[in-house]
Amino acid sequence: MIFRSGSLLGVPLMLVAGHAALAQPDSWEKTQALPAGAKVELLLAGEKTVEGTLSQVSSNDLTLTRKSGSIQLAKSDIRRVWVLGKGSRLKNAGIAALAGFAVGCTIGATQAGQISDMNNPGAGRRAGFCLGIGGFIGGSTAGIAAAIPATRRTLVYRATGGKR
């Protein structure tokens, strides 16, 4: 079987084109399907963000209710729409605990000699300081992260063309 170089190049190009078609921005129909009362965040053309409660969506615009009143925004002025949902404080606390432990463990292990006033402390002493300081910092950061309200943002619309 004889292959032409053009046909071999065509396969990767078709794969790239197919992937681009699958990865195209979400459509306005998803925004129109959102229920009234959904909490949303919008990125406007001027790089300004606006949050509010969705009142109404048509094919050309949407209306948000905010503390200061209702505003109507044209679809052409909107770059992105996110639905805001309740996030997980537990997940955020777990991530913060792991990051805090990693930082604290590193500090404890590397500074064990300074803290214990020893030259070249052994592995057991370094491990002890690693666990002690890592546990303290990890627990502290977990507590702080758990106290912060968590918000989950889900992108439902991204305008095509122009600056993203």
Q: How many domains does the chain have?
A: 2
Closest by CA position to 74, among listed 110, 50, 95:
50
Q: What pLDDT is recorded for position 79?
A: 93
**pTM summary value:** 0.58
Q: Are residues 72 and 99 in the same domain?
A: no
Identify whether 161 is part of a domain.
Answer: no
Q: What pLDDT is recorded for position 26?
A: 60
Identify whether 75 is part of a domain.
Answer: yes
Average pLDDT score over the chain: 84
Q: Are residues 49 and 64 in the same domain?
A: yes
Identify whether 110 is part of a domain.
Answer: yes
Identify whether 51 is part of a domain.
Answer: yes
Q: Are residues 94 and 127 in the same domain?
A: yes
Q: Write the pLDDT tens digit of every residue in 89-110.
A: 999 999 999 999 999 999 999 9
Which residue range is the domain that position 108 belongs to? 89-147
**Cβ distance 42 to 49 under 8 Å?**
yes
Identify whether 12 is part of a domain.
Answer: no
Identify whether 15 is part of a domain.
Answer: no
Closest by CA position to 81, among listed 128, 39, 118, 24:
39
Identify whether 16 is part of a domain.
Answer: no
Identify whether 158 is part of a domain.
Answer: no
Taking 50 as the threshold, does the pLDDT of residue 153 lie above it?
A: yes
Q: Are residues 130 and 80 in the same domain?
A: no
CATH code where residue 32 lies: 2.30.30.100
Q: What pLDDT is recorded for position 162?
A: 53
- Separation between Cα atoms, residue 93 and residue 112, nearest integer Å: 27
**What's the average model confidence in pLDDT over 137-156?**
93
Q: Write the pLDDT tens digit of every residue in 33-92.
A: 999 999 999 999 888 999 999 999 998 899 999 998 999 999 999 999 999 998 899 999
Q: Are residues 74 and 95 in the same domain?
A: no
- Separation between Cα atoms, residue 135 and residue 105, nearest integer Å: 8
